[in-house]
Chains A and B, each alone.
Chain A
Amino acid sequence: MKTLRAFFLRLMALFNRRRWEQDLADELESNLQFAIDDRVRSGMSPETARRDALLHYGLPDSIRESYRDRKSLPFIETAVGDIRYATRMLRQSRGFAVAAILSLALGIGANTAIFSLLNALILKSLPVERPDELVQVNMPGRSSIFTNPIWEALRDRQDVFSGVFAIGSSRFDLSRGGESRFVDGDWVSGAFFSTLGVKPVLGRTLAVSDDRRGCPALAVISYDFWQREFGGRSDVLEQPLSLDGHPFQILGVLSPGFYGIEVGRAPGVYTPLCAEVIVTGTGSSLDRRSHWWLRVFGRPRAGVLLQAAVARLQVVAPGIFRDTQPPNWRPEDLKEYVSRSFELQPASHGTSRFRDEYRTALYIMMAMVAVVLLIACANVANLLLARAANRAREMATRLALGSSRSRLVRQLLTECLLLSLAGSLLGALLAWSGAHAIMPLIAVDGRSPFLDLAIDARMLLFTMGVAVASTMLFGLAPAWRSSAVAPHTALKAGGRGMVQGHSRFTLGKSLVVAQIGLSLVLLVAAGLLLRSFNKLTTLNPGFDRDGIVLARVDLRGARQAPENRPALYRELLDRVRSVPGVTSASSSDITPVGDSMWNDEIRVDGFQPKSAKDSVVLFNQISDRYFETLGTPLLDGRDFNEHDTVQSPKVAIVNETFAARFFPGTRAIGRTYRVTGGPVPDPATEIIGIVKDTKYRNLREQPEPIAYVALSQESKLGPFFHLEVRSAVAPGQSVAALKAALAQLDPALSVTFVTLSAQLDSSLNRERILAVLSTFFGGLALLLATIGLYGVMAYSVERRRGEIGIRMALGAGKTKVLRMVLQEAAVLLVIGVLAGMAIAAATTRFVSTFLYGVDASDTATFTASAALLAAVTLIAGYLPARRAASQDPMSALREE
């Protein structure tokens, strides 16, 4: 307790220094007087008395020193002094300070930006109560998606969770006809909010009693949705909410900061599972035993260990799967189904599609910005070394006056810390704008993520850590070197007589070599990624990229009976085809690279599959003129026509790969296949046409067998389908025309438009972001390395002025001098490039998953990067060389 009191008093004493110094002086003076009086009384003369007293009790100056050490906190005082001095020194060398701070800001800023994305997407726990307790239920060896019957059985039979819930993602159309306006939503079971501990700010959240079959249409909305959609109005609970055309009552508004359990998604609406039947009607998934759409999360009871919980669940698993067997499955599939079980995995970070897609890319970017920071630190170190040469005298003088070496080092490190601090602050600003600029580029399914980039403790710790680490990196060596000055150099008359200069210079040279090497690594990576991206955007996907608009039609608003749908499809297609400007149009179930997939297993007479996958084929259901619209050549046979009806024999068009795999060496036209997915095989389907291979799921894929069946031969159609429209006018105009045409037909239809090229582009988002950012960081690294080389060359030339002057005086021509100086630069360049090549060759394999059409050791890219680096750095070396060669030899000699 007393030490605390003492500390506090010492802290306070920092602030009223003048007062206690005066106080001490007065006290010492008064004590001195007493001492003098005593001595005079015993016979000394006043002057002798004074001197004797001072000798005996100590001189005021030295007393003040030891007094001050105890009175206040000397550590803080010297630190404050250091900071003051450092600020003054930095203000004097403004150019240097600006260059250093800028370099650091770029390096630290880039790191903080990427780290903030990493933090938000990968590291942060969910903003819920005690997130580390949450677990997710999945089936070992299979996915973590369940059907509703399984969920209900699990919910009722488990006894290991204090709270357990199921969640299914969805998207709702807020509009009532016309162009769709979507909001992300989640179907949640009753215990969702209570298990996560999420509280409302208005109204209430869902309770377990709200999630019973036959429940009313209730919804809980997020805080952001309340602000965005309802303007934050206080009577929101009385406002109408339409989800996919059905009215829902708003039960409550959630508190801000909760974004659901899927990172990157921020649902605006949460609706109870039981209300799913209201929106989907007869297509409801609540009792469907083979519709997989729910994830299950829970919080184990206090004191229940994970293994114990898993064991308990595995006890109830057989019963659950036995009682929820889907009808119409083949016996072997059913056998596999009832053998399934449960397992638990920690879920403190929730789930995230963005995370799964971008995790590796983010790590790669983190590595890149770390390299950029290293290069920036090397730059600052070099700047410091150059500056240190100018301060040799100052250091020597201070050493001669009695300062200890560690004190000098501490002083210099304070300067470095100030630079880092300024660099961090500026860098933080850059990072904030940078992260927000990058975020929209990270897209999945054409949607950008919502990431909570708010600064948290981890971010601050990271930034501080990076700043301090960089300071040590670039500051320690120069500071140590600077203070290694012999005190007698202060007495030397010559301005540049520095024996240590040479060894310091070698450090500077090695730093530049390192910078060049590291820049080359980044340039190579950037080159590889750029070329890959270019190949992906220019490859031939089997259809035309431009001039085609896609429309997704939602028929549910039209409230037509499902039997009428085929007629409705045809009518819409006819209407679209008659819109002026439209050269061709078709409809289909699935659009190219649209992130949708349908596959089935088929059987072909005479074909022996080597594995189960061999018989799996991709499918699409299309109208006539589909290939004409998309520009895919028909190689053999015919397209679908009006003779292909529900009653006529089933026909299909297949692609080259299909024909080659199942009918090698023969003509596939006229041959048949059967789909074998169900308990009874489908009727034989005859192949009537063969088309060129096209990309189906993504642009990178290898060709797979695709079979196209006719929409016109199907009587049971769903409420969603797509239109492909090739138009002679610009996309914007054609979209407007199409919108009008479709609205004319039925204003209750919901339609979304996207151009095919945009859809293809959005499938390449990850590659795009890597290409863009790696180029940016590569360019940054190149810039920093060039500045570094320029600085070192300029310094070298400065140092060798005398030598150059003598050579010129002795007859060396300008070109000779140029060559001499450039040689130095060239040596650094060559060593740097060789080192960089070696590192690049070893590390480029880490980006190989993102490459397309280029090898990780692509010689052309390596050579081109090295050439670019060489060209740029040689220019940087040329400038000071030219200056050296054009100087007047006499003035150089005179300076000696």
Chain B
Amino acid sequence: MSEKADVWQGTLALMILKTLEALGPLHGYGIARRIEQTSGDELSVNYGTLYPSLLKLEQEGYISSEWGLSDNKRKAKFYSLTRTGRTQLEQEARQWEQTTAIIARFFAPAGDSK
């Protein structure tokens, strides 16, 4: 079970970083909603997994957090991407694309050359 959770943590971190890059600074609820929406509601995000992931990213210096005001003047804690976070995202995204391309080759029908 823990192995699956680790993989999930890894991809969750990627999703968080991508979300912050795409939408800019966002609070915890916003990140969760966005991930749910982007996955077509396939994934349901529990704070029990989201928050440790956010913590790890913050401790590693990829994101930073700050209390601020939301659109409707509500106090919320906003997370944003740091510069190292941005570089890390690019690196991870590239690696992810490479991995999927290789795997895809295995599952391509025989005779296909790419």
Contact = CB atoms under 8 A, between A and B. Distances in A.
Contacts of A71: 55
Given A27-B77, A67-B55, A6 B60 contact: yes
A30 B46 contact: no
Interface of B: 27-30, 32-33, 44-49, 51-52, 55-56, 59-61, 70, 72, 74-77
A2 B61 CA distance: 7
B52 A70 contact: yes
A5 B48 contact: no
Given A63-B48, A67-B55, A70-B52, A30 B60 contact: no
A66 B61 contact: no
A69 interface: yes
A3 B56 CA distance: 10
Contact of A70 (B32, B45, B55): B55
Contacts of A24: 51
Contacts of A607: none
A24 B65 CA distance: 12
A71 B52 CA distance: 8
B47 A31 contact: yes
8 tightest CB-CB pairs across the interface, nearest first? A6-B59, A31-B29, A2-B60, A70-B52, A34-B29, A70-B55, A27-B77, A58-B47
Given A31-B28, A34-B74, A58-B48, 12 more contacts: A6-B56, A9-B59, A26-B77, A28-B47, A30-B74, A30-B76, A31-B29, A34-B29, A37-B72, A56-B44, A57-B47, A62-B48
B76 A31 contact: yes
A35 interface: yes
Interface residues of A, number: 28
A314 interface: no
Contacts of A31: 27-29, 32, 47, 76
A34 B27 contact: yes
B48 A34 contact: no
Contacts of A5: 59-61
Nearest to B31: A31
Given A31-B27, A34-B29, A58 B76 contact: no
A33 interface: yes
A10 interface: yes
B48 A27 contact: no
Interface in A23-74: 23-24, 26-28, 30-31, 33-35, 37-38, 56-58, 62-63, 66-67, 69-71
Contact of A66 (B51, B60, B70): B51
Contact of A35 (B29, B51, B60): B29
B48 A66 contact: yes
Interface in A55-109: 56-58, 62-63, 66-67, 69-71
9 contacts: A3-B60, A5-B61, A6-B59, A27-B28, A35-B29, A38-B33, A56-B46, A58-B48, A70-B55
Contacts of B76: 27, 30-31, 34
Nearest to A23: B77
A57 B27 contact: no
A63 to B, nearest CB: 5
B72 to A, nearest CB: 8
B47 A63 contact: yes
Nearest to B75: A30
A71 B49 CA distance: 13
A33 B56 CA distance: 25
A6 B45 CA distance: 24
Given A2-B61, A5-B59, A56-B44, A33 B52 contact: no
**A contact face: mostly helix, strand, loop, or mixed:** helix
B51 A63 contact: yes
A57 B46 CA distance: 5
B105 to A, nearest CB: 32
A30 B52 contact: no
Nearest to B56: A70
Contacts of A56: 44, 46
Nearest to A53: B29
Contacts of B56: 6, 70
A738 B72 CA distance: 110
B46 A10 contact: no
Contact of B77 (A9, A30, A38, A63): A30
Contact of A30 (B27, B44, B59): B27
Contacts of B55: 67, 70-71
A31 B29 CA distance: 5
Contacts of A67: 51-52, 55
Which one of A10, A24, A62, A67 has the greatest number of beta carbons of chain B within 10 Å?
A67
A58 B49 CA distance: 10
B43 to A, nearest CB: 12
Which one of B30, B51, B56 has the greatest number of beta carbons of chain A within 10 Å?
B51
Nearest to B44: A56
Which one of B46, B48, B49 has the greatest number of beta carbons of chain A within 10 Å?
B48
Which one of A6, A23, A37, A62 has the greatest number of beta carbons of chain B within 10 Å?
A6
A69 B52 contact: yes
A66 B55 CA distance: 11
Nearest to B65: A27
Interface string A300-340: 00000000000000000000000000000000000000000
B67 to A, nearest CB: 8
A330 B29 CA distance: 106
Contacts of A9: 59
Contacts of A38: 33
Nearest to B45: A57
Contacts of A66: 48-49, 51-52
Nearest to A31: B29
Nearest to B49: A66
Contact of B30 (A28, A34, A57, A62): A34
Contacts of A69: 52
A28 B46 CA distance: 12
Interface in A745-803: none
A96 to B, nearest CB: 41
Contacts of B49: 66
A63 B45 CA distance: 12
A46 to B, nearest CB: 16
Contacts of B46: 56-58
A192 B94 CA distance: 67
A305 B70 CA distance: 77
B22 to A, nearest CB: 19
Contacts of B70: 34
Contacts of A57: 29, 32, 45-47
Contacts of A23: 77
Nearest to B33: A38
B5 to A, nearest CB: 11
B34 to A, nearest CB: 12
A602 B49 CA distance: 99
A5 B82 CA distance: 15
Nearest to B50: A57
A2 B82 CA distance: 14
B14 to A, nearest CB: 15
Nearest to B51: A67
A5 B59 CA distance: 7
A3 B59 CA distance: 8
A66 B44 CA distance: 17
A159 B32 CA distance: 80
A23 B74 CA distance: 15
Contacts of B27: 30-31, 34
A523 to B, nearest CB: 57
A6 B55 CA distance: 9
Nearest to B32: A57
B100 to A, nearest CB: 25
A386 B61 CA distance: 53
Which one of A10, A26, A66, A71 has the greatest number of beta carbons of chain B within 10 Å?
A66
A797 B70 CA distance: 74
Nearest to B46: A58
A41 to B, nearest CB: 11
Interface in A1-24: 2-3, 5-6, 9-10, 23-24
